[in-house]
Structure 1
Amino acid sequence: MRINEPNRIGMINAYNKTGNTQVGKTGKIPMGKDEVNISTEALEMLKQVEDPDSPQRREKVDRLKKQVEEGTYRVASDKIAEKFLSFWQKK
């Protein structure tokens, strides 16, 4: 049984050609543009979020941080399940 054949140059040439990209006159490889699209659902959620600088928001965040640090932060599993369900039912 022969594993390596000495005349298999075609595959090596095909591999070597994949690295060749066309370079423009400037000597740089042309790049595509980055683009971000925000869905209407995300925009609606953003409108519903409290002002991050409000005292109520800061108090809530501080309270949650303290609970996480102390290891006392707990979320009821039924609330998590409700959120998942409502998310999946929208689609």
Structure 2
Amino acid sequence: MRIHEPNRTGMIQAYNKTGTASVSKKGKMAMGKDEVKISTEAMEMLKQIEDPNAPARREKVEQLRKQVQEGTYHVPSEKIADKFLSFWKKW
């Protein structure tokens, strides 16, 4: 039994046309522009960040750096679990 597909060649031609890029009159390819959009959540996070030169922040960073280098830095597993749960509950 033979099945006749009249639109088969039309579909192949449409597929082949999708790979071609548009070329302007000068012979150069038209390029899109890059664009960056910052979400409102990210903007709020930026506002909450303290000035990195603040003395309290510098002291805290140095203390954490020292703990990490000495191997004494420890995060309670309950805190990690709470963060995971709060993240997954959003979805």
Give the TM-score of the pair, scaled to structure 2.
Answer: 0.62
Moved over 4 A (4+): 19-28
Write out per-residue CA displacement over residues 8-54 of structure 1, whole angstroms, 9 at most, x where no aligned residue: xxxxxxxxxxx875554556543322111111111111211211110
The aligned counterpart of 2:60 is 60
Write out per-residue CA displacement over residues 42-80 of structure 1, whole angstroms, 9 at most, x where no aligned residue: 111121121111000011111111111112111112112
Instruction: Give unmatched runs, 5+ long, in structure 2.
Output: 1-18
1:25/1:71 CA distance change after superposition, 3 Å: farther
The aligned counterpart of 2:44 is 44
In structure 1, what is the Cα distance between the partners aligned to 2:58 and 2:70? 18
1:79/1:23 CA distance change after superposition, 3 Å: same
- 1:35 is paired with a residue of what secondary structure? coil
